């Protein structure tokens, strides 16, 4: 049991409902569960009763005015509940009370005394803390006097309160009122309305808490599921912007894409939008991210709305990504469903429940544009906003692919781009008779990133991004890029050959010049040698002349 603002509450065990009501149904008070045929009233009541006896130690009594006990046991067995075992163990008693109008005498305040006696015996038999009455219309179908009918309804509700049992009473919806009698909703402390509607040939079940005396509760409509795992409600409308952020960076599995993000990879818990036309590589990029998560030993959840698991596994092998091994290892869960199979609300409930069940670190929705035909843009936007919020609250990285109908479209029909932390645009450009893929990182909040357009190349070796050739006002990819690169190589080779020829000419000229210099140096050396020889001869001649003069002078003195 739980307590909220002075009101003691009994947990129902229904996923999401106890959170929505901040603890469950009011303990010791009657709760009315109403709705049209087939909306799930009996299953809601059965789940409440079974969980009480099985999980919370509160035995119960199931009073049916229409179906036989064997039918009740068979019905809940389809949800995985072993009601027969609880009956054998003495934790639940099933009372079948058939009301025959011909046997009912409207004689005043004692009209329901027989019912009260049977209920009291059943409650005492197992020490019941919970009770279910299904459905109240069958009990009062024999009453024709409206005054007596209303008095007996009040007396029944008062009797249940006096016994202190937590009661769930189911009722059919009336014409313009929540119930056929139009009174039960006023004397009940809690009223839950279940609705089963069909729109565009797709059915949806919704739950709304009409009133809950003495406590706060969610007031919106909430989708709920009934399947082999029981009755579950997802109060997704309560989600908001209160969530933790992470500084951890995670790889996309594409080294070139990681390199475009300063620090490598996106922040964990980011919501990444991948848009592009058909065949641009959205699913392949998503598969690479899922593969990278599984390589890190983390769980990934892949919701596909166009391809089966086997088809996805086969297709990704062509680019060197083996998703099959991760599925076999239990790290990757692939869930495929057509968008038209459920309503938007049911898709939302199904996806959030699968996320809560598998607890993945990465979730992929491929493609979200498939929902555009299932409802108005506003409804699709609201649904996807709830998923984005849920993933952020849980710290789960989300990858959302979106099919663009125009190659250069920079907006999504569902208006999701503003909700995303990062946006990758994949383009298919036609040039020279061929299409080439390109990748552009439009935004990455909180991360400095490259603004270049990269060629997006897929092969059996995986995905790689190539910096494209940027020409005069154009970006060239594919064969045009290769042709331009070949032309540049030829031009470079020509320039290199020309440079080498000029270098050879300069070298030859240098050699000739050096030879001329050496010849001039030799001539100068010869001239200098000749000059030295002439100087020496002149000096010798001068010395000889002096000697001759001295000799002549001596000769004259002798005479």
The 10s digit of each residue's pLDDT in 416-462 is 777 789 999 998 877 666 778 889 898 999 999 988 888 888 888 88
Answer with the one of 467, 494, 526 that is the final residue of a domain.
Answer: 467
Ordered alpha helix ranges (H), 145-277: 146-163, 184-187, 255-260
Query: Is the distance from CB of 456 to CB of 284 less than 8 angstroms?
Result: no
Name which of 179, 189, 118 is nearest 149 in CA terms. 179
Task: Tell me the C-alpha distance between 192 and 18, whole Å.
Answer: 13
% of the chain at pLDDT higher than 90? 30
**Are 310 and 171 in a shared domain?**
no
Over residues 400-415, the mean pLDDT reads 65
**Are 173 and 268 in a shared domain?**
no
**Are 323 and 218 in a shared domain?**
no
Q: Which helix (H) or strand (E) holds 62?
A: strand 60-64
The number of distinct structural domains making up the chain is: 2
**Are 141 and 91 in a shared domain?**
yes
**Are 229 and 281 in a shared domain?**
no
**Are 280 and 398 in a shared domain?**
yes
Q: Which of 52-61, 121-130, 464-473 has the lowest mean pLDDT?
A: 464-473
**Are 317 and 220 in a shared domain?**
no
Task: Confirm whether 552 is domain-assigned.
Answer: no
- Residue 494's alpha-carbon distances to 469, 472, 490, in angstroms, are 20, 21, 6
Task: Confirm whether 483 is domain-assigned.
Answer: no
Question: Could you read off the pLDDT of 475-513 as tens digits, one per residue?
Answer: 666 666 667 677 777 888 888 888 888 898 888 988 989
pLDDT at residue 413 is higher than 60: no
Task: Confirm whether 174 is domain-assigned.
Answer: yes
**Are 29 and 52 in a shared domain?**
yes
**Are 279 and 366 in a shared domain?**
yes
Cβ partners under 8 Å of residue 303, min gap 6 = 335, 336, 337, 351, 354, 363, 364, 365, 366
Question: Could you read off the pLDDT of 194-231 as tens digits, one per residue?
Answer: 987 776 666 678 888 888 988 877 777 888 877 776 78
Which residue is associated with the tokens 């279910």? 132
Which residue is associated with the tokens 């079940």? 205
For 64, phi then psi, to 5°, come to -115, 135
The CATH number that applies at residue 221 is 3.40.50.300
Question: Could you read off the pLDDT of 57-89 as tens digits, one per residue?
Answer: 999 999 998 888 888 888 888 777 888 889 999
Task: Confirm whether 22 is domain-assigned.
Answer: yes
Task: Confirm whether 445 is domain-assigned.
Answer: yes
Task: Confirm whether 478 is domain-assigned.
Answer: no
Task: Confirm whether 433 is domain-assigned.
Answer: yes
Over residues 531-542, the mean pLDDT reads 84
**Are 212 and 264 in a shared domain?**
no
Give the range of the structural domain holding residue 302, as residue numbers without chain letter: 249-467
**Are 219 and 350 in a shared domain?**
no
Answer with the one of 238, 257, 281 that is the final residue of a domain.
Answer: 238
Query: What is the predicted pLDDT for the residue at 111?
Result: 57
Task: Confirm whether 38 is domain-assigned.
Answer: yes
**Are 312 and 221 in a shared domain?**
no
Task: Tell me the C-alpha distance between 64 and 42, whole Å.
Answer: 10
């Amino acid at each position: 049991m739980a307590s909220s603002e002075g009101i003691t509450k009994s947990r129902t065990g229904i996923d999401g409902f106890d959170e929505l009501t901040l603890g469950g149904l009011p303990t010791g008070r009657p709760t009315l569960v109403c709705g049209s045929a087939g909306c799930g009233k009996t299953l809601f009541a059965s789940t409440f009763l079974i969980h009480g006896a099985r999980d919370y130690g509160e035995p119960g009594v199931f009073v049916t005015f229409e179906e036989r006990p064997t039918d009740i046991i068979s019905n809940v067995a389809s949800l995985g509940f072993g009601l027969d075992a609880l009956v054998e163990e003495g934790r639940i008693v099933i009372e079948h009370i058939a009301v025959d109008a011909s046997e009912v005498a409207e004689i005043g305040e004692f009209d329901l005394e027989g019912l009260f006696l049977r209920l009291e015996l059943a409650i005492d038999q197992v020490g019941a803390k919970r009770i279910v009455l299904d459905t109240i219309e069958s009990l009062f179908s024999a009453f024709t006097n409206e005054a007596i009918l209303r008095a007996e309804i009040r007396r029944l509700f008062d009797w249940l309160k006096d016994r202190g049992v937590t009661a769930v009473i189911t009722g059919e919806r009336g014409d313009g009122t929540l119930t056929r009698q139009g009174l039960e909703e006023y004397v009940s402390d809690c009223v839950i309305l279940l609705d089963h509607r069909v729109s565009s040939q797709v059915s949806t079940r919704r739950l709304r808490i009409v009133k809950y005396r003495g406590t706060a509760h969610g007031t919106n409509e909430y989708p709920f599921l009934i399947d082999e795992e029981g009755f579950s409600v997802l109060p997704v409308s309560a989600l908001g912007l209160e969530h933790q952020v992470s500084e951890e960076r995670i790889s996309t599995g594409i080294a070139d894409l990681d390199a475009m993000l300063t620090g490598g990879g996106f922040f964990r818990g980011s919501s990444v939008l991948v848009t592009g036309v058909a065949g641009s590589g959205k699913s392949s990029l998503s598969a690479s991210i899922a593969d990278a998560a599984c390589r890190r030993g983390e769980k990934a959840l892949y919701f596909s709305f166009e391809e089966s698991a086997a088809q996805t596994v086969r297709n990704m092998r062509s680019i060197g990504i083996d998703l099959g091994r991760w599925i076999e290892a239990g790290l990757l869960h692939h869930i495929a469903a057509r968008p038209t199979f459920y309503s938007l609300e049911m898709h939302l409930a199904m996806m959030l429940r699968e996320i809560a069940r598998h607890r993945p670190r990465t979730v992929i929705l491929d493609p979200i544009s498939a929902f555009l035909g299932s409802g108005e843009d506003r409804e699709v936007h609201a649904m996807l906003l709830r998923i984005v919020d849920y993933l952020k609250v849980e710290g789960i990285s989300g990858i959302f692919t979106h099919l663009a109908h125009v190659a250069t479209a920079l907006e999504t029909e569902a208006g999701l781009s503003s909700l995303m932390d990062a946006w990758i645009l994949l383009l298919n450009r036609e040039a020279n008779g061929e299409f080439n893929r390109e990748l552009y990182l439009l935004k990455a909040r909180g991360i400095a990133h490259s603004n270049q357009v990269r060629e997006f190349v897929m092969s059996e070796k995986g995905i790689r991004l190539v910096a494209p050739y940027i020409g005069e006002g154009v970006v060239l990819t594919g064969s045009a890029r290769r042709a331009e690169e070949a032309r540049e190589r030829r031009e470079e080779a020509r320039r290199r050959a020309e440079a080498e020829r000029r270098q050879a000419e300069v070298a030859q000229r240098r050699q000739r010049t050096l030879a001329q210099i050496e010849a001039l140096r030799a001539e100068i050396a010869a001239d200098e040698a000749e000059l030295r020889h002439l100087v020496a001869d002149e000096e010798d001649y001068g010395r000889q002349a002096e000697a001759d003069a001295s000799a002549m002078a001596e000769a004259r003195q002798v005479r």
